[in-house]
Amino acid sequence: MKQKPHLLVISQCFYPENFRINDMVAEWVQRGYRVTVVTGIPNYPEGRFYPGYSLFKRRRETYRGASVIRLPLVPRGRTLVGLILNYLSFMVSGWFFTRFTREKADLVFSFEGSPMTQVKVGCWYAKKHRVPHFVYVQDLWPENVEEITGIHSRLLIGPIDRMVDKIYRQADRILVTSPSFARAVIGRKHPVPAEKVFYWPQYAEDFYRPAPRQTDPLIPREASFKVIFTGTVGLAQGLQVLPETARLLKDEAVRFVVVGGGRYLPEFTRETERLGVRDRFTLIPPQPPERIPGLLALCDAAFISFSESALFEKTIPAKLQSYMACAMPVLAAAGGETERILREAGCGLTGPTGDARSLRENILKMKNAPDRAEMGRRGRAYFEKHFTKKERMDQMDAWIRESLENRAGSSHRR
């Protein structure tokens, strides 16, 4: 095996878009790997190309020591048609890339947040060059497609299901973000061998840690109980519950801080205005991830929610690890894996998805809880036991080394 293996990372979204794969790539470079990232032109979540990027600008660059190749694609826009074209255009560009690239990698790592179609690029490259292929599953397909689009016709879902079967069959290792995801993958209609499915939870980057409580112009200095949400503002995140909760809390000194952007933000803002609670919300545009711990420190509890769905019950949201790493007590309108972790850690309060009255009661309970700071400390302790970056990346190193050694041994025997 080479001293410094060359990893080819396939991820339709990458820096300056905010995904954990950014930090994983930087860590691999620090650990001595040569890394090439194949990605798209950044346009998530707003649906238009970021300033300074286009079909003709910055198609190749370097990110923290890794080479970045940006394939042409259609920006996702704000319609379902735009989203479909975005997914398909990256896959088509990826097919041409795999046919004509001169990149010689030792292993392919596909980072599968939606869409699953991007993983086909990794499959094509791995098959052509006979190298191991790891697939890191963040979203279950076709379940995610059915949830987001509401489409359940087998004429449309069937081909996606068959594509997923083929991807799982071709992958050498399938990494999943929750135990429920592992059970779902193994238990598909066409079962996936359990020995190739591994639970590998997301970690939080090293800058996620308890921060000093210093003033910030983005956060009001009023004497209120502040509940903060950070991340994408989409329908899947279930933030529809917050305006109604704010209405139920109109007589309480409670403020909601929402940091992020997304397709649902305009509708969310209109709903706060319709219910007469816009003054109870502080809306902050997306911030560099490094700023989030400081913003969390100025609030009293961090919020997680989902839309009601059996799929989201299986999901461990990446922000949960970030909140716990920053020792934030957590309020959740979510069940399943999120509820399990909060219960095991003893670091927050949970209620049913979409239930504004339950969330109101939990906010008041948290507001008056004498052990709120202790909840945060328990969350940090749970994080250090289960979700640290070093432990996770050490495990990944071992898997990469094992796969490359097995492939080298197999080639030698042939």
Q: Beta strand 225-230 with 301-305: parallel, antiparallel or unpaired?
A: parallel
Encoded tokens for 347:
């670091």
Q: Which helix (H) or strand (E) is 383 found in, with range?
A: helix 372-386
Query: Tens digit of pLDDT for each residue in 71-109?
Result: 999 999 988 899 999 999 999 999 999 999 999 999 999
| 305 and 362 inside one domain | yes
Mean pLDDT of 379-392: 95
Distance of CA 234 to CAs 19, 148, 149, 172, 323, Å?
16, 10, 13, 33, 19
Pairing of strands 330-333, 6-10: unpaired
- Residue 220 within any structural domain of the chain: no
Residue identified by tokens 């097919």 is: 95
DSSP 100-113: H-----SEEEEEES
pLDDT (tens digit per residue) in 296-307: 999 999 999 988
- Let me know if residue 282 belongs to a domain: yes
Max Cα separation, the chain?
A: 75
Give the model's pLDDT for residue 144. Answer: 85
- Distance set, CA 363 to CA 341, 369, 370 (Å): 19, 10, 13
Number of domains in the chain: 2
Residues 155 and 240 in one domain: no
Q: Are residues 355 and 407 in the same domain?
A: no
Other beta carbons less than 10 A from residue 165's beta carbon: 15
197 and 235 in a single domain? The answer is: no
Which among 19-23, 236-240, 259-263 has the top mean pLDDT? 19-23
DSSP letter at 138 equals S
Residue 411 has pLDDT above 60, yes or no: no
197 and 238 co-located in one domain: no
In a domain, 210, yes or no: no
pLDDT of 1 reads 45
**Secondary structure class of 1 (helix, strand, coil):** coil
**243 and 253 assigned to the same domain:** yes
Model confidence band, residue 156 (pLDDT cutoffs 50, 70, 90)? confident
Residues 166-201 as b or e (16 or more Cβ within 10 Å = b): ebbebbbbbbbbbebbbebbbeeeeebeeebbbebb
Say whether both 63 and 175 belong to one domain. Answer: yes
Handedness of CA 247, 250, 251, 256 (dihedral sign): positive
Mark whether 231 and 318 lie in a shared domain.
yes
Residue 398: phi and psi, rounded to 5, are -65, -40
| Residues 403 and 273 reside in one and the same domain | no
Q: Which amino acid is at 194?
A: A
The answer to whether position 231 is within a domain reads: yes
Confidence (pLDDT) at 128: 96
Domain for residue 208, yes or no?
Answer: no
Q: Where are the strands (E) in 122-280, listed by range?
A: 133-137, 173-176, 197-199, 225-230, 254-259
Q: Does any domain span residue 218?
A: no
Domain containing residue 336: 225-386
**Residue 259: which CATH number?**
3.40.50.2000
The pLDDT of residue 322 is above 50? yes
Query: What Cα–Cα distance (Å) separates residue 213 from each residue in 54, 73, 253, 292, 301?
Result: 40, 42, 20, 12, 14
Task: Clarify whether residues 34 and 173 are in a common domain.
Answer: yes
Examine the pLDDT at 150 and tell me if it is beyond 80.
no
38 shares its domain with 172: yes
Among residues 76, 103, 108, 100, the alpha carbon closest in space to that of 89 is found at 76
**Residues 6 or more apart in contact with residue 157 via CB below 8 angstroms:** 142, 145, 146, 151
Q: Which amino acid is at 348?
A: G
Whether the per-residue pLDDT at 376 is higher than 70: the answer is yes
Would you say residue 216 lies in a domain? no
Q: Which of 250, 228, 251 is nearest to 239 (CA)?
A: 228
**pLDDT tens string 1-36:** 456 899 999 999 999 998 999 999 999 999 999 999
**pLDDT at residue 149 is higher than 80:** no
197 and 231 inside one domain:
no
- 213 lies in some domain: no
CA dihedral 328, 333, 339, 344 (to 10 degrees): 30
